[in-house]
Amino acid sequence: MRTPIIAGNWKMNKTPAEAVAFVNAIKDNLAPYTAVERVVCPPYVALPGVADALKGTEIAVGAQDVHWEEDGAFTSQIAPAMLEGLVKYVIIGHSETRAYQGVSDEMVNKKVKAALAHGLHPIIACGESLEINEAGGTRSFVEKQIRAAFADIPASDLANIVVAYEPIWAIGTGKSASAELANEIIGSIRVILEDIYGADVANAMRIQYGGSVKPANMVEYMSQPHIDGALVGGASLKEDAFVDLVRLANEAKGLS
């Protein structure tokens, strides 16, 4: 059975002090939902404070990106070694980094390899634009992203990787993909992974949905057989909403 994972992607929100106050306010409320893996991904500068505040809890911390080089002249970037011991997860290939920072499929693959080499667990994000969706190109576009991201990644690393399917047109827009559609695309991602790695590995992989997930639609997503949780932006910034999402995920999978 795959453990659902709810990860809050805070994007460029909350100062370090606000981030620490937020996790201190919710950590006890999240504690009972042990069957769901709970993750918060604050901005880099808040990571030490948040990691410290969450010590001794089961809530994991993630970074929002990582560079693939070990060190060097890469102004503004963060190397994987800098995250070691600080975070468990790192989001790689989020559509906003692909769009605003020119992160390509090839770079995603390099980042995934670098993260794994440093013991970090990648959350690989993929998803199509509205234009591609309306032209009926979703499956082939996502397949290309997935095959590129997993190039030369051995099956032995797959237990440490999570995939997040996030249609770009659903991110921050309030226009979420229907649960059936999300399940269908996530199922097709599992078929691609099965083709590369075989059924056992593919069936064990956790694949999240992301894009305007909120407490009001959480149960619909979690009731789908292929959806193993959510990568959440906006709703993860509010204390009550984030706790509700985790509680609902716990209940929906019959784990409460």
Residues annotated catalytic, as ranges: 94, 166
Minimum distance, C-beta of residue 77 to ligand PGA, in the bound complex (Å)? 20
Q: Judged by CB, which is closer to ligand PGA: 9, or 183?
A: 9
Q: Judged by CB, which is closer to ligand PGA: 168, or 202?
A: 168
Minimum distance, C-beta of residue 91 to ligand PGA, in the bound complex (Å)? 8
- Does residue 90 interact with ligand PGA by CB under 6 A? no
Whether the Cβ atoms of residue 182 and residue 208 lie closer than 8 Å to each other: no
Q: Which of 6, 162, 171, 246 binds ligand PGA (CB under 6 A)?
A: 171
Whether the Cβ atoms of residue 166 and residue 156 lie closer than 8 Å to each other: no
- Does residue 37 interact with ligand PGA by CB under 6 A? no
Q: Judged by CB, which is closer to ligand PGA: 229, or 233?
A: 233
Minimum distance, C-beta of residue 211 to ligand PGA, in the bound complex (Å)? 5
Q: Where are the alpha helices (DSSP H) in 164-227?
A: 179-197, 199-204, 215-222
Amino acid at 65: D
Residues 179-238 that bind ligand PGA (CB under 6 A): 210-213, 231-235
Minimum distance, C-beta of residue 90 to ligand PGA, in the bound complex (Å)? 14
Minimum distance, C-beta of residue 97 to ligand PGA, in the bound complex (Å)? 10
In the chain the beta strands, taken as DSSP E runs, fall at 5-9, 37-41, 60-63, 89-92, 121-126, 162-165, 206-210, 229-232
Q: Residue 143: which residues within 8 A CB-CB, separation 6 or more?
A: 188, 192
**Chain centroid to CA 50:** 18
- In whole angstroms, what is the distance from residue 167 CA to residue 235 CA? 17
* 75: three-class secondary structure by DSSP: coil
- Does residue 167 interact with ligand PGA by CB under 6 A? no
Q: Judged by CB, which is closer to ligand PGA: 127, or 202?
A: 127
Q: Residue 34: which residues within 8 A CB-CB, separation 6 or more?
A: 58
Amino acid at 153: I
* 119: three-class secondary structure by DSSP: coil
> Among 154, 230, 142, which residue's Cα sits nearest to residue 192?
142
12-20, 30-38, 166-174, 193-201 -> range binding ligand PGA (CB under 6 A):
166-174
Q: Judged by CB, which is closer to ligand PGA: 138, or 217?
A: 217
Q: Which residues bind ligand PGA (CB under 6 A)?
A: 9, 166, 171-172, 210-213, 231-235
